[in-house]
Amino acid sequence: MDSLTDFITRMPKVELHVHLEGSVQPSTLLKLAERHHINLPARDLPGLREWYRFRDFDHFIEIYMTISSCLRTAEDIELIAREFLAGQAAQNILHSEVTFTPYNQFLSSGLGFHEQIDAVNRARAWAEERYGVSMGIIMDIPRMIPPEEGLLIAHWAIERHGDGITAFGLGGPEVGNPPEKFQEAFDLIRQNGVPCILHAGETDGPESIWKAIKTADTRRIGHGVRAVEDPELVEYLKDKQIPLEVCPTSNICLKVYPALEEHPLPRLLAAGLFVTINSDDPPMFNTTLTNEFLTGAKAFGWNRDQVKVFYHNAVAASLLPAPQKQSLQLKMNSFEKEWGLVQ
């Protein structure tokens, strides 16, 4: 396991399901709150770290919305994007496709959409130059908002598609907020050639996944683990090879499954589904992408070959152009040569 631990820690990685606002560390939130004179539930870093500790879904949402309320300026957005990308680079995550919800900041502080995207793009350019890592933005609709607001967000995404924004998503509480609530927005998005990548099949069952496919022709499924409850859906996902963005620790924290040993990930793999591994909201779930691989290897007995499959799956499922995908595949080949795994 020690050799596998070293292999996982050092290997190149790609992440497809991680939230920008949900990646803000307690130290950064404290900095933002002090900058804008905002009172937090804790006044120092140890207290804030304790407050961050996962309790339940309502508390998770409380943290998430507190973070959004502290993002008041374009400089704040650029700060969290830079810190996120530096953290990804430290894990040798070469490319990330990151869910971002600018509507929350627009609603809480009036921060303009274009200002936010410009700020993220400055951070992207900085990270490319400094670390050689890349990032695409999946801009999403929070499910709780009215349909007409979802349509507004769709117009935003279309305006900046190809300029940082690579896809359009749907996040937030599934139950009571089905994708068809935003059918008009998804129709407009698809007419304008923007790929859709929806969260589905996490806190709601297989029907949520079917609806994501039928409503938006989603390219990937954010989570999707509850597909195992519907054999017909499993066969469909296998046949179409629709990638699943699986986030094991998140699923356990949110009580989708009681323990990692009861997670359906081994069944998804055994059924021939296209699986990628991701961290979701790392500091809130006390994890990282590296940790997801390490805990998965320990719990499910993964070896190097299985870990490499997850990497190659993530590259293939990314929205990168073919030349960049090939470059990422070659980087894993080079890493394997360093380890003497290929001639």
**DSSP letter (8 states) at residue 145:** S
Neighbours of 18 (CB within 10 A): 25
| Cβ–Cβ under 8 Å, residues 90 and 131 | no
Q: Which residues are identified as catalytic? A: 202
- Distance set, CA 296 to CA 125, 248, 264, 286 (Å): 33, 8, 12, 15
Torsion region of 190: left, alpha or beta (phi above 0 gives left; psi -120 to 50 gives alpha): alpha
Helix (H) or strand (E) holding 186: helix 183-191
- Distance set, CA 193 to CA 147, 161, 214, 274, 303 (Å): 20, 9, 17, 24, 39
260 Cβ contact list (under 8 Å, min separation 6):
248, 249, 252, 295, 299
**Structure token pair of residue 271:** 């059924």
Q: Whole-angstrom Cα distance, residue 219 to residue 224?
A: 12
**Structure token pair of residue 187:** 């129709």
For the range 7-10, what are the long-range contacts, defined as Cβ-Cβ under 8 Å and sequence gap of 24 or more? Answer: 7/304, 7/307, 7/339, 8/290, 8/293, 8/294, 8/297, 8/307, 9/290, 9/294, 10/92, 10/335
For the range 300-303, what are the long-range contacts, defined as Cβ-Cβ under 8 Å and sequence gap of 24 or more? Answer: 300/265, 300/266, 303/4
Q: Whole-angstrom Cα distance, residue 163 to residue 159?
A: 9
| Cβ–Cβ under 8 Å, residues 23 and 282 | yes
| Cβ–Cβ under 8 Å, residues 134 and 180 | no
